[in-house]
Amino acid sequence: MAPGAGGRIDWRHRAWAVAGVTFVALVSAAAFRSSTGVLLEPVSSANDWSRSVVSAAVTINLALYGLVAPFAAALMEKWGIRRVVAAALCLLAIGMALTTFVSQPWQLALAWGVLMGFGAGAMALVFGAVVAQRWFVERRGLVMGIFSAASATGQLIFLPTLARMVESSGPRSATLLLSAVALALVPLVLGLLRDRPSDVGALPYGAPRGYVEEVVDTGGRGAASIALLRLREASRTRAFWLLMFGFFVCGWSTNGLVGLHFIPAAHDHGMPPTTAASLLALIGVFDLVGTIGSGWLTDRYNPRILLAVYYAGRGLSLLVVHLLWAPTVQPPMFFFVVLYGLDWVATVPPTVALCRDCFGASRAGVVFGWVFASHMVGAGISAWVAGYLRDTTGTYDLAWWSAGVLCLLAAVASYAVPRGDQLAGRTPDPDPELTPAEA
């Protein structure tokens, strides 16, 4: 059992208030990101565009969402968490609002792809990882599990409502609602979120007396330079590439495939979009349970084994889902919803733990940003591939099968990630360009 994994929780500590604000922000970001699954078909039909054309805008969104993450982590080190998150919310609000005026594919690519991609990328799970790293010594795995579950909560709260709004009033009302929610969160973030425990004269939760807070000395470098230096360090290790592959497959099989194409696939088989949206929200319910449980398990058990089990279970569920579609919800579909939901983003807490184990606390945030980037690149490619396969074959069957096989390969790769003490010097040799504090 990890140190500090047991005992009662002191909810009065300021860290829990910061975690609460972070959770709310992550919930909203998840709602904006997952809204494309509800809006894909209405936007496609309203503009007479193929699904692959609309999926291309989502591909840009997902790719930027991931690629921005490591630079956002570096920006948080340089400018502070509050400023970065507030700016990201403003970008999301603008991107959602502009969606109501699009009439050309390039305009959708700008609104959905570029603006929302940058905004969501700065509020990706790397944001939660930075908060968990700074504010918690004990319960870090549990907190990361709660942050990861924010995506499930966003689906649960917003997807059925958005689907009903789209059905009754069209996509314009839904997008304007999301834009207003993003703007409303800006003062909440600026007023309540704090960058570090030392800003309020506190220690991280569970920190022992005499604890020295880790602060990265950027040496006057910009965020891009810091992020690229961390990438160069980590890329010298086998652990980094195994984690990158696993998370690439994770994104391929979740955000890019199920998150975007589940509702259209269900509609292809005669299921009403509102029913399909409710099923996707139900996946979010079980994801909430599974991801928090994964955080609890990560505090106690080998994260490599956990990841292998998660990916294997997901792969098996994707290999059979093509057999479960029907115009109405049948009992076997509930089996898929439960199994897939329990492991939707349960992969995040053990992956964050492995980044810390393999690369050390001071590097973990930015390194996880790069690993997360592979997640969203995988999601972006999958979003377009699934749309292309649907346009060319008339079904999503090949998309489900290929994702299932990739997940089984990711299970093997995750089990093979070496322990931190098996790496030379625990982390790659310090880069000669780094200052002593950075190294």
- Neighbour tally for 436: CB within 10 Å: 8
Is it the case that residue 216 has pLDDT exceeding 70?
no
Q: Which of 350, 356, 359, 373 is nearest to 69 (CA)?
A: 373
pLDDT in tens, 272-291: 888 888 888 788 778 878 88
- Neighbour tally for 332: CB within 10 Å: 14
pLDDT recorded at residue 27: 83
- Of 420 and 195, which is predicted with more confidence? 195
**Mean predicted confidence (pLDDT) in 36-47:** 77
**210 occurs within a structural domain:** no
Q: Are 368 and 360 in contact (CB under 8 A)?
A: no
Instruction: Output the domain CATH number for residue 150.
Output: 1.20.1250.20
pLDDT recorded at residue 152: 63
Q: Give the list of residues 6+ apart from residue 295 with CB closer than 8 angstroms, or none.
A: 141, 142, 143, 144, 145, 146, 148, 349
**439 occurs within a structural domain:** no
**89 occurs within a structural domain:** yes
102: left (phi over 0), alpha (psi -120 to 50) or beta: beta
Highest mean pLDDT, choosing among 207-216, 314-323, 398-407, 417-426: 398-407
Is it the case that residue 322 has pLDDT exceeding 60?
yes
**217 occurs within a structural domain:** no
Q: Are 413 and 427 in contact (CB under 8 A)?
A: no
pLDDT recorded at residue 372: 83
**157 occurs within a structural domain:** yes
**431 occurs within a structural domain:** no
Q: How many domains does one find in the chain?
A: 1
Q: How confident is the model at residue 424 (pLDDT cuts 50, 70, 90)?
A: very low
**Mean predicted confidence (pLDDT) in 108-117:** 86
Domain assignment of residue 359, given as a range: 14-200+223-422
Highest mean pLDDT, choosing among 16-20, 335-339, 413-417: 413-417
pLDDT in tens, 64-99: 877 787 788 778 877 888 889 999 999 988 988 888
* Percent of the chain topping pLDDT 70: 89
Would you state the structure tokens that stand for residue 414, as one six-digit string?
A: 């995750």
**Mean predicted confidence (pLDDT) in 173-194:** 86
pLDDT in tens, 337-364: 888 888 877 898 899 889 888 887 777 7
- Of 226 and 143, which is predicted with more confidence? 143
Helix 14-47 vs helix 81-99: crossing angle, to nearest 10: 20
Q: Give the list of residues 6+ apart from residue 221 with CB closer than 8 angstroms, or none.
A: 229
pTM of model > 0.75:
no
Q: How confident is the model at residue 163 (pLDDT cuts 50, 70, 90)?
A: confident
**Mean predicted confidence (pLDDT) in 383-396:** 88
Would you state the structure tokens that stand for residue 136, as one six-digit string?
A: 């918690």
Is it the case that residue 406 has pLDDT exceeding 90?
yes
Is it the case that residue 255 has pLDDT exceeding 80?
no
**123 occurs within a structural domain:** yes
pLDDT recorded at residue 50: 78
Q: How confident is the model at residue 398 (pLDDT cuts 50, 70, 90)?
A: very high
Q: Which of 340, 341, 375, 338 is nearest to 355 (CA)?
A: 375
**9 occurs within a structural domain:** no
**Mean predicted confidence (pLDDT) in 216-226:** 61
Mean residue pLDDT of the chain comes to: 81
**Mean predicted confidence (pLDDT) in 158-170:** 77
